[in-house]
A and B are shown apart, each in its own frame.
Chain A
Amino acid sequence: MDSLSLPEIEGIIEALLFAHGEPLPLQKICDILEIDKKTVKSLINNMNIKYEKNDRGIMIRDINEKYQLCTKFQYYPYVKKLFDYKQAPSLSQAAFETLAIIAYNQPVTKAKIEKIRGVNCESAISKLLERNLIREAGRLDAPGKPVLYETTEQFLKSFGFSSIKDLPVLDMDI
């Protein structure tokens, strides 16, 4: 495979992503191309820059080191005309606040979330579970064995993060 040129490899990655549809693990791409992860990552990065420059309709998303093609935001008004598409209803402020707390403190118990928010979070949590933005992550080894919650890959996908490390640093200043 050494004889492949970089543009050719990029072409192959694009073909793989197109054919696979679902998020494609980085490792799988490396195995197919017999190239190390670092190189593949930088190639994908390069591809995204090119997609951006050349006014292409797609981009590559990185979700926990799995890659997936998706359309660009700016073409949304056009693409949506293809479908009878209704945007999923947004979440309540309570759900967003609960999600924000879970994102930064995961895995976290309901009690901790409620302590920060100062209100009951039962319904917000069940809404988030229903939307598959959070999931149960075992139980805390404490009296009552409370359930722990963490965010899902769906969370990363829905909010445009590539991993939990990608969350912005919160500053305590007012």
Chain B
Amino acid sequence: MESSLTNACKIKIEKFEGPLDLLFHLIEKNKMNIYDIPISEITDQYMDYLFSMKQMDLEIASEFLVMASALLHIKSKMLLPKPKKEENSQEEEDPRQQLVVSLLEYKKYKQFSMQLSDRMELWSKVFYKEPEMIEFAKIEKLINLCPFELRRTYLHIMGRNAKKANPGASNITEILKTEKVTLKSKINEIISLLARKAVIIFSSVFSLAKRSRTEVVTGFLAVLELAKLKKIRIEQDYITGDIKITKCEESGS
């Protein structure tokens, strides 16, 4: 009896999803009662399956081995003589209980997973319509007005904004350009000035009277930069006094 079962097992090496899946297969194939699993029989078959997998050089997932050891453990427990007890009910003592609970729970989801598979097949056969951009054309209404209305509106606006308007606006011929002052241009300017003069006074070159604020600030930054590069020497006798700029001959270039 057992040999024919093991043969059947050897012939058909299916892919099982896990040890529980395999156990289920064995239980169903042998029409075993899940609540009273013949543990010795099922363990043998289970082990046979693992051996045949090994023979076929299939990789055995570690979970299968864990289950194998659990089965053997249960089997050995069942072999041991039961300690004498006043009651005969095995329900709480049955070493197979945990396994049965796991198997039943697994089966529940496995069955549902097959339903899911069917449902997916069915519901992949319906089509939905992708939403499309629905654009509403803007309707421009023509307004029926006489030219005088335009004039009247224009005058009205002019009158309303009379206070805000700049009467000299029409005299402006050029739009003020934003100055473009770069540090580099100021550095060059100072160097070329120093080429002609031995000493220059900062305030006389970059005075707010002659230059814009941006130019003065950038000029000052240029002086600091040149001093840092040791191209020039700067002297100031007292705070807020004139800044004298001289060339720094020795250390420079």
- Chain A residues with CB under 8 Å of chain B are 18-22, 59, 61, 68-73, 76, 79, 87-88, 90-91, 93-94, 96-97, 99-101, 103-104, 116-120, 157-160, 168, 170-172, 174
Is B117 within 8 A of A21, CB to CB?
no
- Chain B residues with CB under 8 Å of chain A are 17-21, 34, 61, 63, 67, 102, 104-117, 119-132, 134
Give the distance in Å from the alpha carbon of A61 to the alpha carbon of B20 in the complex: 37
Is B113 within 8 A of A99, CB to CB?
yes
Give the distance in Å from the alpha carbon of A91 to the alpha carbon of B118 in the complex: 11
Is A20 within 8 A of B131, CB to CB?
yes
Beyond A20-B131, A91-B117, A96-B116, 19 additional pairs, beta carbon < 8 A: A21-B131, A68-B128, A70-B127, A71-B127, A73-B123, A76-B125, A87-B124, A90-B121, A93-B17, A104-B112, A116-B105, A118-B67, A118-B102, A119-B61, A157-B123, A158-B123, A159-B123, A168-B112, A170-B109
Residue numbers in A under 8 Å from B125 (CB-CB):
73, 76
Distance from B232 Cβ to chain A, minimum over Cβ atoms (Å): 64
Is B108 within 8 A of A170, CB to CB?
yes
Give the distance in Å from the alpha carbon of A67 to the alpha carbon of B61 in the complex: 45
Distance from B53 Cβ to chain A, minimum over Cβ atoms (Å): 15
Report if A101-B17 is in contact (Cβ < 8 Å); known contacts: A71-B126, A119-B61: no
* B127 interface neighbour in A79, A91, A96, A118, Cβ under 8 Å: A79
Residue numbers in B under 8 Å from A93 (CB-CB):
17, 113, 117
Residue numbers in B under 8 Å from A21 (CB-CB):
128-132
Q: Which residue of B lies closest to A156 (CB)?
A: B123
Is B117 within 8 A of A170, CB to CB?
no
Give the distance in Å from the alpha carbon of A79 to the alpha carbon of B67 in the complex: 49
Distance from B24 Cβ to chain A, minimum over Cβ atoms (Å): 10
Report if A118-B63 is in contact (Cβ < 8 Å); known contacts: A159-B119, A160-B122, A174-B34: yes
Q: Which residue of B lies closest to A68 (CB)?
A: B128
Residue numbers in A under 8 Å from B114 (CB-CB):
96
Q: List 30 A-B contacts (CB under 8 A).
A: A21-B130, A21-B132, A22-B131, A69-B128, A70-B127, A70-B128, A73-B125, A73-B126, A76-B126, A91-B120, A94-B17, A96-B113, A96-B117, A97-B113, A99-B113, A100-B109, A103-B116, A116-B105, A116-B106, A116-B109, A118-B19, A118-B21, A118-B63, A157-B123, A158-B123, A158-B124, A159-B120, A159-B123, A160-B122, A174-B107
Is B120 within 8 A of A158, CB to CB?
yes
Is A172 within 8 A of B108, CB to CB?
yes
Q: Which residue of A lies closest to B117 (CB)?
A: A96
Q: Which residue of A lies closest to B18 (CB)?
A: A119
Give the distance in Å from the alpha carbon of A73 to the alpha carbon of B106 in the complex: 31
Residue numbers in A under 8 Å from B120 (CB-CB):
90-91, 158-159
* B106 interface neighbour in A87, A118, A120, A157, Cβ under 8 Å: A118
Residue numbers in A under 8 Å from B128 (CB-CB):
21, 68-70
Give the distance in Å from the alpha carbon of A149 to the alpha carbon of B108 in the complex: 20
Give the distance in Å from the alpha carbon of A159 to the alpha carbon of B127 in the complex: 13
Give the distance in Å from the alpha carbon of A130 to the alpha carbon of B31 in the complex: 39
